[in-house]
Amino acid sequence: MTGNSEPSIVLSLEQLALALGEASAVPRGDLIRALERTAERLRMGTTRQEQPTDLVSQAEAARSVGVTRQSVNQWVRKGIISSYRTTDGNGRRAPLVSLAEISIAANRWRAEPVASGFRPQLSSFLELLAESPDLAPTTETISAAIDEGPGPQHEEDAAHVLREFLIAASGTEGRQQEFTQTGVQMLGGLRPAVTIDADHGFGRLLDDMELLIRSSDGSTGFDTASAAVLGLLGAATVGARTEGEESRYGDHIARCAEEVWGEDWVRRLFDAAFHADELNPPAVTRYTAPLVYLGCNRFMRQAQADGVSITYAASPGAILPQSYHGGPVLSELLAGHRHAVPPWQFEKGSEAVRTALHRSTKSPFRIFNFEYGLFDDSIHGVRRYCFSMARAQQELRSFAEQLPRTERTAYFELAVETLARVLEKPYVEVAAVEPPNRFDWWKDHLIRCSPRETLIGLRGERARKIAHGLLVRATFLPQVLDSGDGDLELRERLRVYVKNLNFDLTDERYRDDLARGTTRLIKSALEDLSRDAALARAETEVIAMTARTSP
């Protein structure tokens, strides 16, 4: 290379970067970050290979994931997973493995199959429900939806809806939107697969709890049979605790479920929702806020086949008691008369329910997100839970200020207890995005991600009137690209931004944020904390947060 050619190469690279940014082919923030990382690597040298942050011994990995040590050893020898050399405390070079990679390998061929007894048991349950005339039409449509699925037309329409989301989201920083006007119309135009009359009887109960999706043609219901089963579960739990004549439907559903599945009927209904999706995997499912919380268990069961999931929470229930427990349960806890009952159960007709049902920040369904979802011990895999520290500090302070002084001490003690409960889970990794402006647009919207599915949380007022979240199956993303076949420029834009719905990119960003210090690791997935250690670490975090937010 001659000295004369060097300036032209530098200029060409500079022009390429400017062209990418000005054409919005790559978000400017991501482009700047990539250039900064490239420059740093050139200064430091490019031979260094980054190691995973969750390295453990093979024996420890086997214990944590629940497989034999021989299996781990065979995976390493066959090259299925990588091993990493490092020096232990005795000076020996001990080969280590990544806990996440072991979890993925352990679950790769262990995806939960559709249980042979699932359909007969669900049929028996639906038959019992049908003894109530108001529930009979619902049971028929659920059965039909399980057999037929959403249908090809729904998939085609869903591809166009997601295309409009990506087109709007591909704006430059500060100009990113969730949907174009056309996209909002398409989103509302999707017809539910399970239609339910919201003006009478059982439909009114579901509508009062904001479980039903409303389409622009006036129809209401659920996009999939799985979502409908989750709706039944919501009615049988929270719905049965509300005041009003319609709560009798919730009681009836709970009795029927208990007759079929016994005391474990709540978890078995979650299993039914999971298996219903496995029979006819939906491309895109619209969720209301309560369905987002109820659907966490089904999502985690789907994610366990790959072993790792990532959750981004702007408002972290892992720390904030009001976001973890929901309004009604929190009221009982602060009042000191909470008894040993199922996590979702609260005093029937509680005054707190009236204000909580229509406010997602205090929704009584929130408990399902944690107790029955992210922190369910029966579901295998590593959960990476990442939240905005600035948002957590703000909400912790504002909520405490609204409480009577007599309840503030109890509230902060409960915050410590809530976080400690999370830190005790050996499979949960908790991290916080520290800088206030680094919880970026995509983190705020991709609220749950796994190699198989991504849950997009909708924040915009127009879109949120229709749905709070869109669950997107990864295998559906190529069809979204195909929806832009008629326009090569559009297809290229979709190709760039569809990656933002891909788990691999989310995982790479997560690791990159840890390496750069943007995200701070509070507890790694390879730590197994005792109760006392979890309480001590939780107390340290909550004290630090309250100190930062003190006037």
Task: Write out pLDDT tens, residues 184-233.
Answer: 999 999 999 999 998 888 999 999 889 999 999 999 999 999 999 999 99
Residues 6+ apart with CB under 8 A from 442: 169, 500
> What would the DSSP string read from start to end of 314-366?
SS-TTT-HHHHH-HHHHHHHHHT---S--TT---TT-HHHHHHTT-GGG-TTH
Q: What is the pLDDT of residue 25?
A: 64
**pTM of the predicted model as reported, rounded to 2 decimal places:** 0.79
The closest of 463, 491, 474 to 284, measured between CA atoms, is: 474
Q: What is the pLDDT of residue 233?
A: 96
Q: What is the pLDDT of residue 206?
A: 92
Antiparallel, parallel or unpaired: β 382-388 and 308-313:
parallel
Residue with tokens 């504002």: 398
The closest of 50, 63, 57, 60 to 89, measured between CA atoms, is: 57
- Helix 389-402 crosses helix 405-423 at what angle (to 10 degrees)? 150
Q: What is the pLDDT of residue 460?
A: 86
Q: What is the pLDDT of residue 98?
A: 83
Q: pLDDT under 70 in the chain at which residues?
A: 1-7, 23-30, 32-34, 36-37, 39-50, 66-68, 70, 78, 86-94, 106-117, 171-174, 349-358, 548-551
Residues 6+ apart with CB under 8 A from 398: none
Q: What is the pLDDT of residue 66?
A: 67
87 half-sphere exposure, CB direction, 13 A CA radius: 3
Residues 6+ apart with CB under 8 A from 453: 299, 302, 303, 471, 472, 473, 474
The closest of 261, 259, 266, 258 to 234, measured between CA atoms, is: 266
Q: Express the helix, strand and coil content of the chain in percent, nearest 5 each.
A: 60, 10, 30
Q: What is the pLDDT of residue 347?
A: 81
Q: What is the pLDDT of residue 16?
A: 80
Q: What is the pLDDT of residue 72?
A: 79
Is residue 418 within a helix (H) or strand (E), and if so which, with residue range? helix 405-423
**Is residue 287 within 8 Å of 227, Cβ to Cβ?**
yes
Residue with tokens 């579960």: 233
Q: What is the pLDDT of residue 156?
A: 86
Q: What is the pLDDT of residue 111?
A: 45
**Residue 236 amino acid letter:** A
Residues 6+ apart with CB under 8 A from 257: 125, 236, 265, 266, 268, 269
CA-to-CA distance for 196 and 266, rounded, in angstroms? Answer: 22
Q: What is the pLDDT of residue 115?
A: 57
Q: What is the pLDDT of residue 181?
A: 85
How far is the CA of 473 from the CAs of 5, 195, 280, 282, in angstroms?
Answer: 48, 22, 12, 7
- Helix 225-237 crosses helix 201-208 at what angle (to 10 degrees)? 80
Q: What is the pLDDT of residue 497?
A: 83
Q: Which two tokens stand for residue 4?
A: 């004369």
Q: What is the pLDDT of residue 550?
A: 43
